[in-house]
Amino acid sequence: MAALLATPLQASDVYKWVDENGVTHYGERAPSDKAYSTVKTYGEVPGGGEEAKQRLEQQRANKKASEAKDLDYAQQKKIADEQAKVRAENCKGARSNLKTIQENARVRILGEDGEFRYLTEEERQQQIVSAKETIAENCDD
C-alpha cells in the first residue's frame, strides 16, 4: 500500500495553440501546422473522453431529429392549412348550390351535348342530397 502512495503521479504534456480565428485550443497532440507551446500537467489525465464524445454525438443526433420533427410539423401545418382552404371553398360552393336548387323549382344546367336543359325533379332532389353531404363534410358549423 505504501508503495502505491509513494509512486509519483503520471505527468503528461498538453499542447496549447491559437487558431486563425484567435481561438485558443488545448490538445494531447501538437498541431503540425501551427505554432504551439507545451503546458506541463501533473496527475492522471482524466478519463471519459470517449464517453463525452459519444454523449456529444448523441446530443447532435437528438437535435437533428428535433429539427426534422419541427420541419415535419411545419410541412404538416402547411398541408392542413391548404386543406382547410379547399374545404372552405367547397363549403361555400355547396351552400350556394343548395340555396339555388332549393329556391328555384326549375334549375337549368349545361348538358353534355352543350345544350341547356332543366333538371328533372329526381335530379334536383339528388343535387340537394349531394349538396347537403358536401356541406356536412366541408363546413365546420
User: What single-letter amino acid sits at 126?
Assistant: Q
pLDDT digits (tens, 9 = 90+) for 11-58: 567 888 898 888 888 888 888 888 988 887 666 555 666 777 788 788
Q: Which residues are within 8 A (CB) of 37 and not within 5 positions of it... i.e. 6 or more apart?
A: 15, 16, 17
User: What single-letter amino acid sits at 66?
Assistant: S
- Which pTM does this prediction carry? 0.47
What is the predicted pLDDT for the residue at 34?
A: 86
What is the predicted pLDDT for the residue at 132?
A: 93
Strand bridging mode 11-18 / 36-42: antiparallel
Going from N- to C-terminal start, the domains of the chain cover: 11-45
pLDDT digits (tens, 9 = 90+) for 73-98: 888 888 889 988 988 998 999 899 88
Strand bridging mode 116-118 / 24-27: unpaired
102 and 132 in contact (C-beta within 8 Å)? no
